[in-house]
């Protein structure tokens, strides 16, 4: 297994991981298989040294529990050194341009993770640093989260192709965007259940429909709750993303009818439907305590899988298998 994965990984060495748009279905599946293998080893108490001698910069404009811990533990597990750089630790985009910061960090570090606001920033880091750069979250995209979600779905259902995944909530946010991209790449039937005011950008929908022509997946964008019927998985996120706190009242009013609750789960009509959440969850808003706790084991599998999938990305693009 390890030898087969090592051969495939040659195609990813030196690559950045900015969005799943840049990766083929085969490459995404490889990362999921590698994550599965690394997870099995971790459970057995086996860690590696594929990142031995590698120094990795972890840039955080936005705080995080899962992303920071996953990159830190994943890096240490594989023998690397992670260095946390908060928004007050470096001059990124303030006294020093993103381009110049990238060129400095690229000479000192072997890889860079970025979690912040603008997709443009992570793209500039990748362009100017000369080392692999990994997107830990931007306002537009959250690709490492999707890998964790998909590993969780594979653990639950065995495969991804043909699954029906329903995202409930703000259809314009980074999670809706990223799930749509990943689903289209992997042949998942993806539904955005959202008020019309918060529907996904049409340009992204058209782009993902092109991916569906190859994968056999589909996209539905609707404000009709009945479209959730027969879903294999239901997914939601907070109603107000980081940086949008001023819009909380408006969002609550719009999204209250789209809460994931017992009534919605009953409408789905399938006994084995799972509920997923990227966390943190604001229980009582986007999801009820009842539904969250009923699916807590899967949700925290999903959270744990951030570490295994992020480790896989670092190993595949920077490490030595």
| DSSP tag of 115 | E
How many Å apart are CA 62 and CA 252, to the nearest integer? 23
Per annotation, catalytic residue among 29, 145, 251, 277:
145
Q: Is 295 annotated as a binding residue?
A: no
Give SS3 for 29. Answer: helix
**130, 203: one domain:** no
Q: Which residues pair with 115 in a beta bridge?
A: 60, 137
142 is catalytic: yes
Same domain, 67 and 171: no
Instruction: Tell me if residue 240 is catalytic.
Output: no
Range(s) of the domain holding residue 275 = 144-302
Same structural domain for residues 100 and 189? Answer: no
Has 251 been annotated as catalytic? no
Closest residue by Cα to residue 165 from 263, 275, 257, 297 = 275
* CB crowding 286-296: b at 16 or more within 10 Å, else e: bbbeebbeebe
**Domain of 150: which CATH number?**
3.40.50.1370
Q: Based on the fold, state whether residues 220 and 282 are members of the same structural domain.
A: yes
d(CA 43, CA 210): 39
Distances (CA, A) of 97 to 101, 105, 110, 112: 6, 12, 20, 16
User: In degrees rounded to 5, what are phi and psi of residue 55?
Assistant: -110, 130
Our answer to whether residue 237 is catalytic in this structure is yes
15 flagged as catalytic: no
The pTM is what? 0.95
What contacts 6, CB < 8 A, 6 or more positions away? Answer: 321
Rounded to whole angstroms, the Cα distance separating 272 from 67 reads 29
10 and 134 assigned to the same domain: yes
Q: Which residues pair with 236 in a beta bridge?
A: 168, 277
Q: Is 259 a catalytic residue?
A: no
Q: What is the DSSP letter of 140?
A: S
pLDDT tens for each residue of the chain, 321 residues long: 555 665 555 589 999 999 999 999 999 999 999 999 999 999 999 999 999 999 999 999 999 999 999 999 999 999 999 999 998 999 897 889 999 999 999 999 999 999 999 999 999 999 999 999 999 999 999 999 999 999 999 999 999 999 999 999 999 999 999 999 999 999 999 999 999 999 999 999 999 999 999 999 999 999 999 999 999 999 999 998 766 777 788 889 999 999 999 999 999 999 999 999 999 999 999 999 999 999 999 999 999 999 999 999 999 999 997
Residue in 15, 189, 295, 306 annotated catalytic: 306
Could you tell me the end-to-end alpha-carbon distance of the chain, in angstroms, rounded to an integer? 11
Structural domains in the chain (count): 2
Is 64 annotated to bind ligand? yes
């Amino acid at each position: 297994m390890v030898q087969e994965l090592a051969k495939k990984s040659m195609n990813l060495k030196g690559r950045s991981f900015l969005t799943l748009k840049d990766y083929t279905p085969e490459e995404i599946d490889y990362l999921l298989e590698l994550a599965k293998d690394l997870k099995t080893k971790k459970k057995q108490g086996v860690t590696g040294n594929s990142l031995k001698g590698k120094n990795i910069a972890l840039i955080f404009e936005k705080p995080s529990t899962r992303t920071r811990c996953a990159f830190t533990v994943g890096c240490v597990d594989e023998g690397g050194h992670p260095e946390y750089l908060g928004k007050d630790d470096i001059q990124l985009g303030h006294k020093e341009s993103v381009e110049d910061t990238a060129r400095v960090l690229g000479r000192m570090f072997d890889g860079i993770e970025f979690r912040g606001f603008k997709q443009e920033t992570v793209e500039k880091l990748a362009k100017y640093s000369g080392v692999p750069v990994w997107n830990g979250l931007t306002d537009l995209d959250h690709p490492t989260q999707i890998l964790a979600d998909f590993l969780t779905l594979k653990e639950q259902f065995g495969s991804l192709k043909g699954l029906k995944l329903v995202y409930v909530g703000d259809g314009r946010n980074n999670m809706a965007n990223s799930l749509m991209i990943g689903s289209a790449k992997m042949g998942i039937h993806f539904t955005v259940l959202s008020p019309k005011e918060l529907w996904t950008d049409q340009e992204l929908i058209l782009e993902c429909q092109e991916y569906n022509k190859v994968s056999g997946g589909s996209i539905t964008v609707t404000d009709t709750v009945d479209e959730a019927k027969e879903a294999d998985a239901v997914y939601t996120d907070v109603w107000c993303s980081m940086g949008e706190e001023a819009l909380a009242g408006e969002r609550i009013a719009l999204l209250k009818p789209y809460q994931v609750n017992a009534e919605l789960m009953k409408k789905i009509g399938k006994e084995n439907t799972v509920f997923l959440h990227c966390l943190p969850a604001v229980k009582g808003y986007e999801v009820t305590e009842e539904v969250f706790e009923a699916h807590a084991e899967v949700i925290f599998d999903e959270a744990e899988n951030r570490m295994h999938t992020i480790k896989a990305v670092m190993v595949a693009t920077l490490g030595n298998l």
